[in-house]
Amino acid sequence: MPQLDGQVCVITGANQGIGKAIAEAFAAEGAKLALCARNMEKLGKVEKELTQGGADVLAVSTDVSDDAAVEQFFNLIQERFGRVDVLINNAGAFDGGRLDQVTTEGWNNVIGACLTGAFLCSRSAFSMMKEQGGGRIINIGSISAQRTREACGPYTAAKFGVWGLTQATALDGRPFGIICSCLHPGNVRVERRVESGLTSDDEPMMSMETIAKVALTMATLPPEVNMLEAIVLPNEQLYVGRG
């Protein structure tokens, strides 16, 4: 039997990259999918591909940093599926620069997409999971939440916040059977890196499918078990002592 047979899995930022890879992996395991992203053109293509493969998919254009938009998204999930078994908080944004060069707009964009979005979606999912007797929330963090780099203030702060939110959610969720985990990827060969030339032949990279496999493992653990934190990176990538 598929590992996620009939389970309703919500994935934010599912129009490309890690989010899309997780959606594909979960669909292959029988999950019903509720997907969101800001770019509906790309998200619509993902929806079409997964639906043609036999998956039951709800796709909604959503800015996860917007309270009303998130509420509407989860209302549609409630109407379509009636529950949420797994939430993957994957949506995010990146903007950097030396701290004195970071704009308020850039800061708010990253914090909004990465951290506020994870909070708003977790809050909505938490309420549904509490009523149904439990569920799992998996936040996509980053090794930047563990080891910072130069000129990455907004992203580092956001991902440190996601790790803190994970622990708070895990603690608050215990009485209700709600499990919260954080998956910290290292270098992943996502479209953004390739298109912007941020990859090189000698830079160690993982595939998006590798992260999706880890997310699937975390999502399918027994209900009494939590992999609270997973740090996944290429074996040769600088991590301890990186700068």
Structure tokens at 199: 């990859």
Of the candidates 26, 81, 126, 155, the residue annotated as catalytic is 155
Burial of 130 per CB tally in 10 Å (0-12, 13-18, 19+): middle
Which two tokens mark 219? Answer: 């999502």
Q: Which amino acid is at 219?
A: A
Residue 100's alpha-carbon distances to 72, 153, 154, 205, in angstroms, are 37, 10, 12, 30
Q: CA angle, corner 188, sides to 17 and 215, nearest 5?
A: 70
Q: How far apart are the C-alpha atoms of 84 and 86, rounded to whole Å? A: 6
User: Which tokens hold the place of 166?
Assistant: 């994970």
Core vs surface per residue 44-76: b (16+ CB within 10 A) or e: eebbeebeeeebbbbbbebbbbbeebbeebbee
Active site residue 155: yes
What residues contact residue 219 under an 8 Å CB cut-off, 6+ apart? 4, 9, 26, 86, 88, 136, 138
Residue type, 143: I
Residues that are catalytic: 155
